[in-house]
């Protein structure tokens, strides 16, 4: 068994680069500094990041370090930037300059044990650059487009030279979970570590319930679990996961951005799924933040089914055990967090204005239809 640590971008691990990032000077420095300064600062930061990680190794519990962009890719980054700063786009000449500067200052890039290249599935550099630009914040940034063309060309050169142990081709149709599981499969084969089993293994589908107060979320989630088999399905509350996350972080999960909340929630869900390995279905009440819900849907794809329960106000009030004022207060909070948007984007809207039995039958038919289509969280065979 390993301890895991994930090391991100240089702005989070290097004091000098992090300082420029905080002072909003990194972009200006990146484009305007000299070739030698760029190589010394960036490659120096990469080398320090690597050796700090090695120094943290424990013989009793080896630390499996995962770099977000490894040393080989940063070599490509530096070579692309040298070509830009030379203003000739000559990658062969840039490679020679890079090697000369490295030798001059005694810089040596260490090699990771396992290097994986994530690459667009098209061999056409122009297609790859266009896809990258569409994913960025400014698709019309010509300077960045120029850099991407050189960077992706050099990454192709590295791949052709056998610098990577594994190359994973990424299509525009690949969801996050599909890409995640391609990477996990590669890491599982290398490390034999069960931490890299498919995402949410062995859970097949997560069902998130949304709706206003007294709409019947809890009752239908419980009946759903009973219908799917109590030994295989578990009804959970989002507050349970958020509480566990907050305790782990030492501060409220709500102090983070929506994307960070969703990412922490995803990790907590995976811990739960791993510990409760006999489960195949998990229900979650209650989805209110449309932004967090969107991120989970993006990352988990069809393996995360959003169910909104629709009930008219009169029926909700007749069911409520709380005052009308309290009911309206709770509704307002949910509306402010985006429950209306969740309803509009839900995979299934359950009409709960009729009998409970009729609504539950509709819900189970929907779940069985999902199962018949082979929808699974991890895309397992």
Residue 380 has pLDDT above 70, yes or no: no
CB count in 10 Å sphere of residue 313: 12
Q: 66 or 307, which is more confident? A: 307
What b/e string do you get for 196-230 counting C-beta neighbours within 10 Å, with b at 16 or more?
bbbbbbbbbbbbbbbbbbbbbbeebbebbbebbee
Q: pLDDT, tens digit, for every residue of 113-169?
A: 899 999 999 999 999 999 999 887 677 899 999 999 999 999 999 999 999 999 999
Give the number of C-alpha atoms closer than 13 A to the C-alpha of residue 93, restricted to the C-beta side. 10
Residue 331 to residue 337: CA distance in whole angstroms: 10
Q: Residue 4: pLDDT above 70?
A: no
As beta bridge partners, residue 304 has 206
Mean pLDDT value of segment 210-223: 93
pLDDT at 275 over 80: yes
pLDDT at 97 over 80: yes
Please compute the mean of the pLDDT values over residues 82-94 and round it to a whole number: 98
Sequence-ordered list of residues with C-beta below 8 angstroms from that of 357, at least 6 positions apart, any chain: none
Which pLDDT belongs to residue 379? 43
Domains 3-196 and 205-372 share a fold: yes
pLDDT tens for 158-214 read 999 999 999 999 998 887 778 888 888 888 888 887 777 777 888 989 999 999 988
Confidence of residue 3 (pLDDT cuts 50, 70, 90): low
Please give the residue that has the higher pLDDT: either 4 or 347.
347
CA angle 55/57/62 to nearest 5° reads 165
Mean pLDDT, rounded, for 294-308: 91
CATH code at 205-372: 3.40.50.300
Q: Which of 242, 236, 338 is nearest to 294 (CA)?
A: 338
The tokens for 6 are 């994930």
Q: If you average pLDDT over residues 87-97, what whole number do you get?
A: 98
**Eight-state DSSP code of residue 189:** H
The proportion of the chain whose per-residue pLDDT surpasses 70, expressed as a percent, equals 94
The pLDDT score that the predictor gives to residue 378 is 43
- Percent residues over pLDDT 90 in the chain: 65
Strand partners, 282: 206, 234
| CATH C-level class of 3-196 | alpha beta
Instruction: Tell me the pLDDT tens digit for each residue of 358-375.
Output: 999 999 999 999 888 765
- Does the structure show a pLDDT above 90 at 318? no
pLDDT confidence of residue 62: 58
- Report yes or no: 68 and 9 within 8 Å, Cβ to Cβ: yes
Radius of gyration for the chain, computed over Cα atoms and rounded to the nearest angstrom: 25
Query: Which stretches of 8-102 are assigned E, i.e. beta strand?
Result: 63-67
- Report the alpha-carbon distance of residue 287 to residue 303 in Å, rounded: 16
Contact 55, 7 (CB under 8 A): no
**Can you read off the two tokens belonging to residue 307?**
């169910």
| Phi, psi of 64, deg, nearest 5 | -85, 110
Phi, psi of 79 (to 5 degrees): -65, -40
Mean model confidence pLDDT for the chain? 89
Tell which residue, 10, 149, 159, 148, has the closest CA to residue 72. 159
The rounded distance, in Å, linking the Cα atoms of 67 and 90 is 28
Show the tokens assigned to 2. 């390993």
Looking at residue 12, what is its pLDDT? Answer: 79
- Alpha-carbon distance of 11 to 99, in angstroms, equals 24
- Domain spans of the chain, in order of start: 3-196, 205-372
| pLDDT number for residue 307 | 97
Cα–Cα nearest to 310, from 278, 262, 343, 347: 343
Residue 109 predicted with pLDDT over 90? yes
CA 339 to CA 208: how far, in whole Å? 12
* Cis-peptide into 284, omega within 30 deg: no
Sign for the CA dihedral angle at 216, 219, 224, 225 comes to positive
**Secondary structure (DSSP) of 56-92:** T--SSS-EEEEESS-HHHHHHHHHHHHHHHHTS--HH
Q: How far apart are CA 47 and CA 111, in angstroms?
A: 10
Q: Read off the pTM.
A: 0.71
End-to-end CA distance of the chain: 26
Q: Please state the rounded mean pLDDT for residues 283-300.
A: 92
- Tell me how far CA of residue 116 lies from CA of 122, 169, 289, in angstroms: 17, 11, 35
């Amino acid at each position: 068994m390993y301890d895991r640590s994930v090391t991100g971008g240089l702005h989070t691990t290097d004091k000098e680069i992090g300082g420029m990032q905080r002072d909003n000077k990194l972009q200006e420095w990146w484009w305007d500094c000299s070739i030698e300064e760029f190589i010394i600062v960036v490659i120096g930061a990469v080398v320090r990041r690597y050796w700090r990680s090695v120094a943290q190794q424990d013989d009793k519990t080896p630390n499996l370090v995962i770099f977000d962009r490894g040393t080989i890719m940063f070599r490509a980054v530096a070579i692309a930037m040298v070509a830009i700063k030379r203003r000739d786009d000559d990658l062969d000449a840039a490679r020679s300059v890079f090697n000369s500067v490295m030798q001059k200052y005694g810089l040596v890039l260490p090699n990771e044990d396992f290097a994986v290249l994530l690459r667009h599935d098209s061999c056409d550099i122009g297609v790859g650059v266009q896809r990258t630009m569409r994913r960025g914040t400014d698709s019309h940034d010509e300077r960045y487009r120029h850099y991407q063309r050189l960077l992706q060309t050099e990454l192709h050169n590295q791949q052709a030279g056998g610098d990577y142990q594994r190359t994973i081709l990424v299509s525009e149709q690949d969801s996050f979970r599909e890409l995640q599981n391609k990477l996990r499969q590669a890491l599982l084969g290398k490390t034999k570590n069960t931490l890299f089993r498919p995402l949410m293994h062995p859970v097949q589908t997560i069902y998130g319930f949304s709706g206003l107060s007294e709409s019947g979320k809890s009752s239908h989630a419980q009946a759903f679990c009973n219908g799917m088999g109590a030994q295989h399905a578990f009804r959970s509350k989002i507050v349970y996961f958020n509480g566990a996350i907050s305790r782990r972080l030492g501060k409220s999960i709500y102090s983070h951005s929506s994307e960070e909340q969703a990412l922490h929630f995803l990790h907590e869900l995976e811990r739960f799924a791993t510990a409760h390995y006999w489960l195949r279905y998990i229900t979650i009440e209650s989805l209110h933040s449309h932004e967090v819900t969107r991120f989970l849907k993006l990352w988990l794809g069809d393996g995360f089914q959003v169910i909104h329960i629709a009930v008219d106000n009169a029926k909700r009030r007749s069911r409520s055990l709380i005052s009308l004022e309290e009911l309206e207060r709770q509704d307002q909070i949910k509306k402010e967090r985006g429950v209306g948007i969740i309803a509009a984007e839900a995979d299934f809207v359950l009409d709960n204005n009729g009998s409970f039995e009729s609504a539950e039958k509709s819900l189970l038919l929907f779940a069985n239809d999902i199962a018949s289509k082979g929808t699974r969280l991890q895309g397992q065979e």
